[in-house]
């Protein structure tokens, strides 16, 4: 794979380096959200009760983790599709599997990859949308069966 999935010629094209920082930041945020909520409870009722249910906060954190994961998966889908696009000629006789082909086609319906440096925000929003909406999952399952 070319460095940073950048097109040719490399120079002004910065590639997909920065968007990888976004996924790393989201993964790190998920690590902090995974810290057990029950570890931070405050005594109540004049110190007679030392346990306050942290279940509501734990549920809210779990929901945040899921939203972050959808973003991470959407960006990874973008990067994988870009990698396939860049290496199509090198793949030669090797073809994508049935499910992977469907996923790649869905991304290509939304994104037209190019060699020039471009703003990637719209690309990542599109692939994150495929994950959030279950559109990608439904299309792949229609081709290969339930996952």
CA 142 – CA 103 distance, rounded (Å): 11
Residue range(s) defining the domain that contains residue 37: 3-144
Q: Provide the number of structural domains found in the chain.
A: 1
CA 116 – CA 65 distance, rounded (Å): 34
Does this model's pTM top 0.85? yes
CA 139 – CA 145 distance, rounded (Å): 10
Non-local (6+) Cβ contacts of 127 within 8 A are 74, 75, 77, 78, 81, 107, 110, 111
Please list the pLDDT of the chain residue by residue as tens digits (147 residues). Answer: 877 888 776 666 778 888 999 999 999 999 999 999 878 777 777 777 667 778 899 999 999 999 999 999 999 999 999 999 999 888 888 989 999 999 999 999 999 998 877 888 999 999 999 999 999 999 999 999 999
Residue 138 belongs to domain with CATH number: 1.20.200.10
């Amino acid at each position: 794979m070319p460095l940073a999935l950048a097109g040719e010629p490399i120079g002004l094209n910065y590639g997909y380096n920065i968007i990888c920082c976004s996924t790393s930041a989201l993964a790190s945020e998920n690590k902090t959200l995974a810290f057990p909520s029950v570890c931070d409870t405050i005594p109540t009722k004049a110190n007679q009760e030392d346990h306050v249910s942290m279940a509501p906060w734990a549920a809210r954190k779990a929901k945040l983790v899921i939203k972050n994961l959808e973003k991470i998966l959407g960006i990874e889908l973008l990067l994988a599709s870009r990698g396939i696009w860049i290496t199509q000629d090198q793949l030669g006789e090797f073809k994508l599997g049935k499910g992977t082909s469907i996923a790649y086609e869905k991304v290509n319906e939304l994104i037209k990859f190019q060699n020039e440096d471009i703003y990637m925000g719209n690309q990542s929003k599109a692939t994150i949308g495929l994950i959030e909406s279950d559109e990608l999952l439904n299309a792949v399952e229609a081709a290969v069966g339930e996952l």
